[in-house]
Structures are given as C-alpha cells and as structure tokens.
Structure 1
Amino acid sequence: MRNRRKLRRYIITYDIVITVLALISIGLVIFDLVGLISIGRRPFRVIDQSITLIFAIDYAIRFSLAPRKRIFVKTHVLDLLAIIPYNEVFTFLRFSRVGRFARLAKLSRLIGLSGKLKHISNRINRRNGFYFLLSVNSIIILISSAVIARVEHHNFIDAIWWSVATVTTVGYGDIVPKTLVGKAVAVILMFSGIATLGLLTSSLNNIFVRSGRQTERKLAELKKELAEQRVILEEIRSTVLMIKSKMDDTDD
C-alpha cells in the first residue's frame, strides 16, 4: 500500500514537472513567433534544448515500456513533433534563413507541444487529478501575474485579479493588456482556462462513473457472500438433518 502511494506521488510529481516544462516551451515558441525573443540565442536556446532533451528521454522511456510499439507511435505523433530539434536540423540543412521554413517549423513545434499537453491531460484525467490540475493552474496564474505586473506596470494584486478573470474565461475588461508580451500571456491563459474547464467536466464525470462502479462492485461482492453463506447454511442444514435421522434410527 505504501509503495503504491509513493509511486502515485512520484507519477504526480513527474507529470507536474513535464507540464510546467511544456508550458515554458510553448511560451518560448509563442514569444519567438511574435518576435519578442530569439529562441536560437542564449539563454533561450539552452533552455529550449534542455527541455527538448527531457521530452526526448520521456518519449524514449514510454516507448520502451509500451506493449504495442506501433500503436504508441501512431497515437503519439504530436509528441514526436515536440522533440524534433528544428533549429539544429534547419541550421545543418542551411534552411535557417528561409523565413517560411522557420515559421513552419515553429508552428509544427507548437502543435507538437500542444499534443504533448493533451496526452498529459489525458493521463491526469484517468487518475482524476483535480488537485494536480488546480496546482498547475495556480502556478500558471502566479507566473502570468508576475509577467503582467512587470510589462503592463500594474501592481501584483491587480495582475492576479486579471489572470484569474482571464483563466476562468470571464474577462471583465477592466484591465486590458496593451503590450505584445501581455497579449501573448493572455492567449496562454485563455487556452489554459478552456482546457481546464474541459478537464474539470471530465474529472467530475469520472468521479460519478467510478462511484457507480464501486457501488456495483460492492453489490456483486455482497451477492457473492450471500451465496456462499447460503451454501454453508444448506450444508449445516443437511448435516443437522443427517444427525437427526441417525438419532431417530438409534432411538428405534
């Protein structure tokens, strides 16, 4: 029992780390696409390469553990897109100066990272990781609030208010980001909020389905126990009747 709890704790921690890394990588790609940073320069290049290496190791481990390799590859195509080092490949092929190829590579990477997040979300959903989802969103809100407070020149409380309003898809409109960075953060929060609502609905559905299955399982166990008790009672009854019959024969 303790080993299961430890394993579950390790898996949850691992998923949190992978999710945060995926969000960081998505942020880097988005900021690079809008021209705020250059992902091919330090320190962003080092960060991006490190995250890509971790994702590649994650993919290799899950591929080696998969019982059906072909099905795994077919269902994890987007994960594969997320670990392709486009900058290095294009630099080697001397395509890095062609804007069309560079933009296509970044968009492919973004799609791949989104797919990776989807697979992580599915794993969370299967384990009903509501608290995991809540913790990840709290991290996103805090980071987004810090960025907004910095680039939009708001105090941190107002930035948190704006982040919560945005991630819940309410959007009061009292605070509107004006800088490119602020708008990029808003887009990330919007997508995060939409994904969270979908996962929350699925998690609640899983709770009811799981409780229904547990009730059915308990009823089946009770029926089985009753059947076993009935068999035992029948055996006792037969034994009593046999003893009574022998006693009657003895009396005769």
Structure 2
Amino acid sequence: MEKIRILVVDDDDAIRDVIQIYLRNAGYEVLQAEDGQEALALLTQTPVQLIILDLMMPHMDGISFCLKLREISHTPIIMLSAKTEDMDKIHGLSIGADDYMTKPFNPLELVARVKSQLRRYLDFQQPSGKAQDILELRSLTLNRTTHQVLLQGQEVRLTPKEFAILELLLEHQGMVFSAERIYTAVWQEPFMESESTVMVHIRNIREKIEKSPRHPEYLKNVWGVGYKID
C-alpha cells in the first residue's frame, strides 16, 4: 500500500524538521516547502493527502495559499499560527482550513489531529457501502460515493469537514444537532470549547448552499439548541 504523503509548509526550517520527524515516525511520507508559492509548484507535480500550513510566511502567506488551493482541491489543511486570538482562528477556518493549532504546539497532538483529518478524508475517497449513497432535499443533492454536492445541478465545493457536517444533517433531516454533537460526530474527538469551530463551518456551508445565508432555506438554527436541515 502506498504511503500517505503530507506536505509541511513553513518558513521555519526547525519547525518543518521537527514536524517531519514526528510524522515519519508515525509512518507518513513528508514533503517540505518554505512558502505558499513553492508549495503550489510542488503540488502540480506530487499529490498529497494532507497539508500542514503556517499562517505567516514570505512571498505567499498561508491565507493566500489556502484560498488558491480551495479553488481546485479539497485536501485537508491544518493551519499553524503564533496568533492566539479567536478571530484569527475563525478567519483561518472560514477561508478553508479544516483545523487550527497555535504555536508552540505539542507535536504528538499535531500527529493525533493529522490522523483524525486523514481518517475522514480517506473515508471519503472510498465507496461508503451504505444503502443510501444519495441524500437529497429539494434542489440539494449529496453523493457519498463521489463526494459531490449539487445545488440545482451545479456542483458546490465543500471542504471535507463541511461535507461531513452537511452529510450528518441531511442523513437525519429534521433532527436538531447541538454544536457539541456535531463536533464529536465529525471531528471524532472530545468537545472542548469548540462551538466557534462548528459555527464557522455552519456559516461557510450556508454561504455556499443558501440564496440568503441570513434567511436559510436548508440549514437552520434552533435557537439555544443547535442546527437542523429540513
């Protein structure tokens, strides 16, 4: 079986090398890039299954890289930053990152998050084996087998986490899910002050599938309880 390949993008040589050591010990193949431009050039030649991305870099920073990548790829991104403010985390998630860690970080925790992201992403690459691979609601269609979402016949590009949230809610149409229940089901890890993470992903989904995100037709709030699709 071919090794899973991970790209580490950071202008700090020492950080890249530390991450590479831990990931290789976990059995992954690791590629390195010093900035977003180098990373994009590398990706045209070599596919990867996950990207670990620094926010602040010269030439092309993490935000610019993430925006460009999301035009063409759903590859999971774990963003790294020395910034600790919630708004920085929310911004990183809102432009397409799947997870966010602040520096300094525990390399073992990073490896655990890598495994969590890869588990869900690689599951999406295989047929689900479920009886119902097509989930539909009015003009919205989610195909588990092809990992596609269509709205009125037009493809909607979602990140793996956005897809997983939409899949969960479409599979249980009309049921209300709290932010905690969504997080534990999709991220598959304990819920610890992660409500803002779920909120950002819900907002991103609405911006992609709703005519008016402020007045959603599909993904609705149940105030004080959670979210549902009906």
| TM-score normalised according to structure 1 size | 0.22
Which structure carries more relative contact order (alpha carbon 8 Å, separation 6+)?
1
| TM-score normalised according to structure 2 size | 0.23
